[in-house]
Amino acid sequence: MVLDKPLGVTSTQAVGKVRWLFDANKAGHGGTLDPLATGILPIALGEATKTVSYAMDGKKTYRFTVAWGEERSTDDLEGSVTKQSPERPSYKSIEPILSDFIGEIQQVPPAFSAIKVEGERSYDLARAGAAPDLAARPVLIEELKLVEPPDPDHAIFEVTCGKGTYVRSLARDMGRKLGCFGHVSALRRIRLGPFSETDAIPLERLEEMRHKPPGGNAMDGFLRPIATVLDGIPALALDEAQTQRLRLGQSVLLRGAKAPIASDAVLVTLGQKPIGICSIEQGSLKPKRLFNL
């Protein structure tokens, strides 16, 4: 299902609530949102948790507000002020720098992030007063645009980016480039992979449906097929005999002139039923994650 995560709730808390609402035996989410962030949070239930990594690999689009004049320890509103400036950028000064942050760029993650440093989470070290110097990493930003500057102290942007990109780092680095400092004051994920805001269900609506009188399957109406999150990978239809071989952990030789030689991930189906995710190596289908449906 696709949750519209509310403000002030961690991704873990949101997953726990949804798991309880649907009485699921297990659950996972497709990409963490900080407590101060809202928006699209795909949540996988039961066997669908085997697809979480594919949701996390999808392109993401965020709408975010940068507050100028202050850099903070967390690069968002939660942190303490570390640097200040009386300077404020104009619309004309912001537009020219955006191209510097588009494409594959080197980005230093925030000190308050989940990145591990010698077995410890960076945010744990930072909270203990020993914030590590994190190395820059390559990230992909496909699009970055200035939506509007509502007032001299703020600017609203939209960014489409790949896995591992930190919007907080982007705000920090734009502030430094402009010579005025900056931090994220509002953040909303408006797209992730195949999901947009129109797909997202507010948590309060789920809670309301939970309290409806018994009867029917109103909650099930919020669930999407497993294959929804796998739209970005190829699909391959199998017959009963091939499916049985995969379920026994055996590979399946693909025959025919159009049979693919290699693929890291392919969704295999039996009729309309998803069977699992396989790889193709030297013309043979090998099981990776099979669904127990």
CATH number at residue 286: 2.30.130.10
Quick check: 132 and 125 in contact, CB under 8 A?
yes
**In terms of domains, do 241 and 260 share one?**
yes
Q: What is the pLDDT of residue 257?
A: 53
Bigger pLDDT: 160 or 54? 160
pLDDT band at residue 55 under the 50/70/90 scheme: confident
In this structure, what are the phi and psi dihedrals at residue 189, rounded to the nearest 5 degrees?
Answer: -85, 120
Identity (one letter) of the amino acid at 293?
L
**In terms of domains, do 180 and 72 share one?**
yes
Q: What is the pLDDT of residue 283?
A: 84
pLDDT band at residue 197 under the 50/70/90 scheme: very high
Q: Which long-range contacts (CB under 8 A, 24 or more apart) does 258-262 make?
A: 259/283, 260/234
Asked if residue 202 is part of any domain, the answer here is yes
**In terms of domains, do 242 and 158 share one?**
no
* Residue 217 CB coordination number (10 Å): 7
**In terms of domains, do 109 and 148 share one?**
yes
**In terms of domains, do 48 and 71 share one?**
no
| The residue to which tokens 């077995």 are assigned | 119
Q: Which two tokens stand for residue 200?
A: 């997202």
| Total domains, the chain | 3
Asked if residue 83 is part of any domain, the answer here is yes
- Which residue is catalytic, options 4, 34, 75, 76? 34
Asked if residue 170 is part of any domain, the answer here is yes
pLDDT higher than 80, residue 274: yes
pLDDT higher than 60, residue 213: no
Tens digits of residue pLDDT in 252-266: 988 765 566 678 889
H or E element in which residue 43 lies:
strand 37-45
Asked if residue 239 is part of any domain, the answer here is yes
Asked if residue 107 is part of any domain, the answer here is yes
* Interval 272-289 mean pLDDT: 90
The length of the chain, given as a count of residues: 293
Parallel, antiparallel or unpaired: strands 252-253 and 37-45: unpaired
Nearest C-alpha neighbor of 191 from the set 233, 156, 160: 160
**In terms of domains, do 44 and 70 share one?**
no
SS3 202: strand
Residue ending a domain, among 170, 204, 225, is 225
Asked if residue 54 is part of any domain, the answer here is yes
Distance CA 41, CA 31 (A): 7
Tens digits of residue pLDDT in 94-126: 999 999 999 999 999 888 667 776 677 766 666
Q: What is the pLDDT of residue 290?
A: 92
Q: 121 Cβ partners below 8 Å, 6+ apart?
A: 114, 115
Asked if residue 243 is part of any domain, the answer here is yes
Asked if residue 190 is part of any domain, the answer here is no
**In terms of domains, do 79 and 160 share one?**
yes
Distance CA 220, CA 88 (A): 50
Q: What is the pLDDT of residue 27?
A: 93
Residue ending a domain, among 176, 209, 225, is 225
**In terms of domains, do 75 and 170 share one?**
yes
Measured at the CA of 101, the angle between CA 95 and CA 102, to 5 degrees, comes to 95
**In terms of domains, do 206 and 173 share one?**
no
**In terms of domains, do 202 and 247 share one?**
no
Bigger pLDDT: 232 or 85? 85
Nearest C-alpha neighbor of 275 from the set 233, 249, 251, 246: 246
Distance CA 141, CA 116 (A): 23
| The residue to which tokens 């975010």 are assigned | 64
Distance CA 184, CA 71 (A): 9
Range of the structural domain that residue 38 is part of? 2-58+195-225
- Percent of the chain residues topping a pLDDT of 90: 60
**CATH label of the domain that carries residue 210:** 3.30.2350.10
**In terms of domains, do 68 and 180 share one?**
yes
Annotation says 34 is catalytic: yes
Q: What is the pLDDT of residue 244?
A: 94
